[in-house]
């Protein structure tokens, strides 16, 4: 589990001498996140991520804090990885994979063979030439990521929405009905460790399309064609609401012996209706032992491929929505920080009237998850015997270290002695209660003491 290996926890109480405590267990005050709530139930919680957004610190802050699985949103598709025939381009996808690995997150590969987002050169091919191009593509891309991925969406969206269980017409389908099994065999030959998934939409309930996929999986298993998992995209909106037999549908695939994964979840709507539907998806996955986890298709509403539907768990500013809280609760956890329940909240400015430690106003503890060249620090701010209305934490970074992003706080600088102030949703802390924030940096992780003033 990422960020659970606390290396050093340092307690400080104002001007009192600091006590350093070595610990190998998570801090009791560790913030609940989507990832930690899911992990506690043996599931992962992932998101689609876009490499071009990594310069946005609000985006990376949430990505690093909340998720244990990452799917490149577009960077592993055929047009991105093989823009001209037999010339491969992995830099954007590698950026995502390497960043995820550095943060202890796993990666779902998406997608090796699909009728959409193909490079232009593919459209001039057909027959054996196209079949061979597909095999070459899968072999190269799966080999490049060999041993690095949790799963691959080997084939995406190969069935039609006609209601008759037929295959979608496409150039790949025109190469012969066996194109799907050839794709799976090719992927397995290149990478024997990634789980190989079939992925589709409008397969979320029991219907003609999902039954056609079900029959294909059953047939593959009977004939020894390698397939390990089925992905249910779960793009939910008014035209395609969450089916009442969602869980039963997941279960019937699980009963075939494959893992099931919710791969591209987004739910149009807002407020409690949206929150309830999100909770129902989580409950369905929890009820199906072979449901390995849930991936949402983006972080903030503004990151969504259908942003007009406000379908995600964070608003455009990166604040958690009601649906975020309902996901956490559906996993049986409780929200700590950030909390959507305080929204809308007034902006609270930190007061400087109380000097650190005086009256036990607040204490700050922190833990690091460090790797060669970088670190993530999670800080817990605990109120003393009085309510906090704004707080500030001081931490001095070692020479050469620099903060690259932070979340649930505003940092005064990026190196040396840095002051971290509350943001609007976590300035108010009840007496004896805690809130958390974090930051990521390059260089060595901080050690020593944190000061806290209110």
Q: Shortest approach of ligand XIL to residue 212 CB, angstroms?
A: 18
Q: How many CA atoms lie within 13 A of 260 on its CB side?
A: 32
Residues 383 and 364: beta-carbon distance below 8 Å: no
Burial class of residue 406, CB neighbours in 10 A (0-12, 13-18, 19+): buried
User: Given candidates 27, 101, 305, 389, which one binds ligand XIL under the rule CB under 6 A?
Assistant: 305
Is residue 74 within the footprint of ligand XIL (CB under 6 A)? Answer: yes
Neighbour-count burial for 339-368, b at 16+ CB within 10 Å, e otherwise: bbebbeeeebebeeebebbeebbbbbbbbb
Site for ligand XIL, residues 374 to 433, rule: CB under 6 A: none
Site for ligand XIL, residues 256 to 275, rule: CB under 6 A: 264
By CB under 6 A, the count of residues binding ligand XIL is: 6
Q: How many CA atoms lie within 13 A of 189 on its CB side?
A: 13
Nearer to ligand XIL, 301 or 425 (CB): 301
| Biggest CA-to-CA distance, the chain | 78
> Sign of dihedral through CA atoms 334, 57, 298, 104?
negative
Q: Is 157 considered catalytic here? A: yes
Q: Is 82 considered catalytic here? A: no
Is residue 47 within the footprint of ligand XIL (CB under 6 A)? Answer: no
Nearer to ligand XIL, 259 or 264 (CB): 264
Sheet-wide strand order for 410-411:
410-411, 417-421, 392-396, 451-453
Is residue 156 within the footprint of ligand XIL (CB under 6 A)? Answer: yes
Nearer to ligand XIL, 155 or 445 (CB): 155
Q: Shortest approach of ligand XIL to residue 261 CB, angstroms?
A: 13
User: Given candidates 73, 82, 259, 303, which one binds ligand XIL under the rule CB under 6 A?
Assistant: 73
In the numeric block, the tokens 């979340």 are attached to: 407
Q: Shortest approach of ligand XIL to residue 75 CB, angstroms?
A: 10
Nearer to ligand XIL, 199 or 368 (CB): 199
Q: Shortest approach of ligand XIL to residue 263 CB, angstroms?
A: 8
Backbone angles phi, psi at 389, to 5 degrees: -120, 70
Is residue 233 within the footprint of ligand XIL (CB under 6 A)? Answer: yes
Nearer to ligand XIL, 103 or 156 (CB): 156
Query: Which residue of the set 82, 157, 181, 259 is catalytic?
Result: 157
Tell me the C-alpha distance between 59 and 55, whole Å.
8
Question: How many beta carbons lie within 10 A of that of residue 23, not counting itself?
Answer: 12
Residues that bind ligand XIL (CB under 6 A): 73-74, 156, 233, 264, 305
Mind telling me the catalytic residues? 157, 264
């Amino acid at each position: 589990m990422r960020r659970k290996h606390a290396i050093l926890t340092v307690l400080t109480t104002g001007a009192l001498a600091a006590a350093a405590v070595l610990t190998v267990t998570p801090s009791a005050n560790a913030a609940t996140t989507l990832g930690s709530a899911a992990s506690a139930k043996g599931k992962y919680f992932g998101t689609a991520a876009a490499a071009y957004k990594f310069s946005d610190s609000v985006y990376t802050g949430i990505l690093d804090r909340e998720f244990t699985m990452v799917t490149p949103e577009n960077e592993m598709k055929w047009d991105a990885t093989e823009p001209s025939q037999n010339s491969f381009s992995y830099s954007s996808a590698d950026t995502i994979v390497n960043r995820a690995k550095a943060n202890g997150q796993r990666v779902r590969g998406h997608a090796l063979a699909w009728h959409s987002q193909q490079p232009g050169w593919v459209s001039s091919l057909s027959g054996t030439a196209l079949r061979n191009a597909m095999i070459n593509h899968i072999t190269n891309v799966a080999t490049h990521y060999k041993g690095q991925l949790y799963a691959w969406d080997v084939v995406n969206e190969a069935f039609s929405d006609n209601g008759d269980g037929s295959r979608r017409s496409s150039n790949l389908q025109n190469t012969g009905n066996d194109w799907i099994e050839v794709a799976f065999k090719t992927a397995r030959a290149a990478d024997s460790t990634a789980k190989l998934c079939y992925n589709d939409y409008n397969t979320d309930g029991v219907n003609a399309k999902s039954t056609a996929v079900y029959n294909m999986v059953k047939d593959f298993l009977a004939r020894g064609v390698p397939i390990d998992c089925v992905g249910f995209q779960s793009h939910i909106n008014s035209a395609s609401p969450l089916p009442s037999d969602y869980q039963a549908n997941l279960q019937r695939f699980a009963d075939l012996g494959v893992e099931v994964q919710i791969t591209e979840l987004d739910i149009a709507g807002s407020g409690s209706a949206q929150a309830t539907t999100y909770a129902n998806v989580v409950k369905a996955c929890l009820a199906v032992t072979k449901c390995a986890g849930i991936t949402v298709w983006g972080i903030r509403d503004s990151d969504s491929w259908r942003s007009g539907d406000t379908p995600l768990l964070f608003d455009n500013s990166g604040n958690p929505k009601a649906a975020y809280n309902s996901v956490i609760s559906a996993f049986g956890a409780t929200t700590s920080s950030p909390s959507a329940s305080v929204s809308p909240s007034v902006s609270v400015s930190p007061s400087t009237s109380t000097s650190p430690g005086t009256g036990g106003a607040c204490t700050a503890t922190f833990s690091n998850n460090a790797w060669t060249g970088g670190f993530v620090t999670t800080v817990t701010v605990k109120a003393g015997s009085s309510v906090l209305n704004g707080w500030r934490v001081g931490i001095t970074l070692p020479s050469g270290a620099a903060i690259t992003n932070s979340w649930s706080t505003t940092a005064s600088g990026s190196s040396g002695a840095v002051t971290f102030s509350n943001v609007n949703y976590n300035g108010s802390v009840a007496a004896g209660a805690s809130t958390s924030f974090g930051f990521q940096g390059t260089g060595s992780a901080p050690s020593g003491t944190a000061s806290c003033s209110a």
